[in-house]
Amino acid sequence: MTVSVHYQIAGSTSAEISASVESGVRTGGLPAGAPLPAVRALADLLGVSPGTVAKAYQTLRQRGVIETAGRNGTRVRPRPPVVSSRGMLRPAVPAGVLDLSSGEPDARLLPPLGPHLAAIATQSQTPIGYGDAGVLPDLAELVRSRLTADGVDAPAVTVTSGALDGIDRLLAAHLRPGDPVAVEDPGWANLLDLVAALGLRAVPVPVDGDGPTPAGLRTALAAGARAVVVTTRAQNPTGAAVTVPRAAALREVLGGHPDVLLIEDDHAAELADVPLCPLAGATRTWAFVRSASKPYGPDLRVAALAGDEATVARVAGRMRIGAGWVSTLLQRLVMRVWTDRSVAAGVAAAGASYDRRRDALHAALTAHGLVAHARTGINVWVEVPDETRAVTALRDSGYAVAPGALYRQRTAQGIRITVSPLSEADIAAVADAVAAAASSAPEWGRTFR
């Protein structure tokens, strides 16, 4: 996407130049995706040495504000870690356009939390003080029992404010800026943004329908990756899910690198329609993260984090001297929804609804001759020859989808479609529109299988 930018970068030192770029991002003068001048061009414009500009750009890259992508030059990242004064950086969806780009669960299928909040409010409880706060013992035991049922032996557990918060704390506790991290390609856009914001270096691991490929993981570890992040099922954006044979193969690869930090993300949790095939314990340092957001609502910012004792202790200790703890009110709310049979039935029904819509869209796209991936979860990944054209054409047809550039590093171009807003009656029309949009460019190239 070409962005017309009129913001004038200023400064005579690397610190002033990087601050000027950040100011442009903050004020909206340099929006997400905006191209920045080449190093020599900006140096000539400002009357400074190319080395000064290069150092400023390096600082901004290490902070995750900008990215350099070969022939595409240097640009502001899609979601830099700088809050814009103009609000959210995600482009607004025009009126009359159906938003299939959000990746959010269907709000109509989320369980009502009001009755559970009311029940918590009426319970007689001693107020929690600073010295008594932490993980509720009853919740910790419930986490252990639920994970044990899924084959995850949890020597230690804690809770964080969502999955990404847990992954953030794990990476920050074990790695330092510049360290390489093995991540799925295509993979979760928020994770790629987090890795960049922490000053870490993302090493892509190709993904197929069964999860990260053993050969890709082996290559990433040989390149020095000090941590690995794997989505066990409902992988975002492809819907991949780790199978029993794939888990065994990945365990074998990881067994040769016992000191690597292994992080498993089970964000779909109770919504997933396939059994969990965990990698927990494949290395000495590991963590398994399960969020409550997808099944029970994005505003329920709680995730269970299990792992070896030293890894969990680092996360819990860092929280204690920072945020402190996850509110015990939220912890009690999670316990209630986890143990309520009617809520469990509703979550199961929601999962079945997602499965029907996802599978129907996948079948319709395949019938058009398109290459689509949608084994589990709420998203469908569709390979297209030119994602910019496809996104634009679909928007003109009344559908907003997410461009693959947010998720991929080396893999082929694609688009991500979230099925949550779709009714089953919408499927055929959406598939027709995607087929028409995909045919707007002549040549294809597949790297995802």
Which range among 81-85, 130-134, 261-265, 356-360 shows the weakest confidence by mean pLDDT? 81-85
**pLDDT on residue 303:** 96
**pLDDT on residue 221:** 98
Tokens 């899924």 locate to 150
Cβ contacts of residue 313 below 8 Å, gap of 6+? 156
CATH class of the domain whose range is 14-76: mainly alpha
Tokens 């009755």 locate to 115
Give the pLDDT band of residue 3 (cuts 50, 70, 90).
very low
Domain locations along the chain: 14-76, 131-339
CATH fold for the domain made of 131-339: Aspartate Aminotransferase; domain 2 (3.40.640)
Annotate 339-368 with DSSP letters as a single string. Answer: H-HHHHHHHHHHHHHHHHHHHHHHHHHHHT
Which range among 82-86, 164-168, 205-209, 413-417 shows the weakest confidence by mean pLDDT? 82-86
User: What are residue 123's phi and psi, to 5 degrees?
Assistant: -75, 140
pLDDT in tens, 165-177: 999 999 999 999 9
**pLDDT on residue 90:** 53
**pLDDT on residue 6:** 75
Query: Taking Cα atoms as reference points, which of 330, 349, 206 lies closest to residue 273?
Result: 349
Instruction: Read off the pTM.
Output: 0.86
Residues in the chain: 449
Cβ count within 10 A of residue 114: 8
pLDDT in tens, 280-310: 999 999 999 999 999 999 999 999 999 999 9
Mean pLDDT of the chain: 91
Query: Taking Cα atoms as reference points, which of 219, 341, 339, 354 lies closest to residue 274?
Result: 354
Higher-confidence residue of 4 and 355: namely 355
**pLDDT on residue 445:** 44
pLDDT in tens, 48-99: 999 999 999 989 988 889 888 766 789 998 888 877 655 444 567 888 899 9
**pLDDT on residue 85:** 58
Give the pLDDT band of residue 330 (cuts 50, 70, 90).
very high
**pLDDT on residue 95:** 86
**pLDDT on residue 5:** 60
Burial status of residue 318 (CB atoms within 10 A of its CB: 0-12, 13-18, 19 or more):
middle
Among residues of the chain, what percentage have pLDDT more than 70?
94
